[in-house]
Amino acid sequence: MVRGQDKAGGSAGGSRQAMPPPSRRGGGGRPTIGDVAALAQVSKATVSFVINDRPGVSPQARQRVLDAIDQLGWQPNAGARALSTKRSQTLGLVMRRPPELLSTDPFFPQFVAGIETGLAPLGYALVLQVVPDEETERQAYERLARDGRVDGVFLTDLRTDDPRPALVTELGIDALIVGPPQHGGQVPALGVDDGSGVRRAVSHLRSLGHRWIGHVCGAAGFVHTEARCDAWRGALADAGLPEIPPVAADFTGAAGARATHQLLDLDRPPTAIVYANDLMAIAGITAATSRGLRVPEDLSVVGFDDIPLADCIAPPLTTVRQDVLTWGRAAAQALVSLTEGGEFQAAELPPVEFVVRASTAPPRS
């Protein structure tokens, strides 16, 4: 296919007449500097001068170029990226999270390491972005997609009504949701069954004799938080146990302690509590201990994650362990195969592991 090369011939200058708009490339291709130049009726060089803020451009031409850029939604392709192949051999991971909260989460580093072990043998690289809010997040994905820096992106920490599945579909970039499949199902997903861990915890506690079990869930609005909460309700119902309303927290130690006190302040406090992560569980143990309760004699505690510290505290924490490393590796392989062949087959992930330590025991009475 022939594409118009710069401005059509004829004497420069003179009167500028309206021309039929040059044909845009069809389909999903992003606009180019040539498209902008054609639309603005200038040369590519002038467009380049404008976007690089170089002198030698008349205000009129500059404005036409700016308008054209705006109209086409164009932005310079980072370094005529991955020039011939159109493939950058690079995947993107955007984390939306307040930076100061990142270190509370054992998931992130493990998952990144897992991605890397999956990507390295395939010759792929990973570009990482950490953004503070939704607006920045959106911009990050748009930039990543438009300048062709990545062949595909991971979507983590999906929220209920998350705009990103629609966004990546609109941008036309390959994406993989890290977590359970979404309702719409537009974007492929790869995730372990969060619920099975919770069910294992409930069944463990029930077999110990617990009948009155509380739950401290994670930050509201996250898909996996809802999933775990639902699983908890389901597990209780299946076991024929009564339900204490789950207490909302946000994965931080402070919130975990607060939620624990809230549960223990009930007229009939639970004999066991399942937490949505280890950090809150450990804070919960400390909170319970400070009230004179002994763990596990007076209160059984189950965490989630199996952070390295879970084994180092007193009592060692009974918890749910996910093989995040393997998960990350599988996700990497799945996304690469998606961007290369278009085919996606959900890999088999190892099931969550239930690690029984010493923070759970039969209830007192």
Partner DNA sequence: GAGCGTCATCAAACCGGTTTAATATCTAAG
Partner DNA sequence: CTTAGATATTAAACCGGTTTGATGACGCTC
Q: If contact means CB under 5 to 8 A according to the sort of partner, which of a second copy, DNA, none does residue 82 touch?
A: a second copy
* 22 C-beta neighbours (distance < 10 Å), count: 15
Least Cα distance to 319 among 329, 309, 327, 332 occurs for 309
Q: If contact means CB under 5 to 8 A according to the sort of partner, which of DNA, a second copy, none does residue 22 touch?
A: none
CB of 246 to a second copy, least distance (A): 20
Binding test (CB under 7 A) with DNA, winner from 32, 260, 318, 326:
32
SS (HEC) of 208-239: HCCCCEEEEECCCCEHHHHHHHHHHHHHHHHH
Q: Hey, what are 292's tokens?
A: 């004179």
Site string for DNA, 128-157 (x = CB under 7 A): ------------------------------
- Give start and end residues of each alpha helix (H) in 147-209: 164-171, 194-208
Least Cα distance to 106 among 245, 273, 276 occurs for 276
Instruction: For residues 190 and 124, give the distance between their C-alpha atoms in angstroms, rounded to a whole number.
Output: 19
Cα-based distances in Å from 284 to 256, 294, 295, 299? 6, 12, 10, 10
Quick one: how far is CA 35 from the chain centroid?
34
Site string for DNA, 33-62 (x = CB under 7 A): xx------xxxxxxxxx-xx--xxxx-xx-
CB of 119 to a second copy, least distance (A): 9
| C-beta closer to a second copy: residue 137 or 162 | 137
| 141 touches a second copy (CB under 8 A) | no
Would you give the DSSP letter of residue 65? H
Site string for a second copy, 59-98 (x = CB under 8 A): -------------------xxxxxxxx-xxxx------x-
- Which range touches a second copy (CB under 8 A), out of 32-40, 110-118, 164-172, 229-237? 110-118
| C-beta closer to DNA: residue 2 or 343 | 2
Query: What DSSP string describes 238-252?
Result: HHT---PPPEE--SS
CB of 152 to a second copy, least distance (A): 15
| Rg, the chain, Cα only | 27
Site residues, DNA (CB under 7 A): 2-3, 6-7, 9, 11-14, 29-30, 32-34, 41-49, 51-52, 55-58, 60-61, 76-77, 80, 83-85
Site residues, a second copy (CB under 8 A): 78-85, 87-90, 97, 99-100, 102-106, 108-110, 112-114, 116-117, 120, 125-131, 136, 140, 149, 252-254, 256-257, 279, 282-283, 286, 289-290, 307-309, 311-314, 325
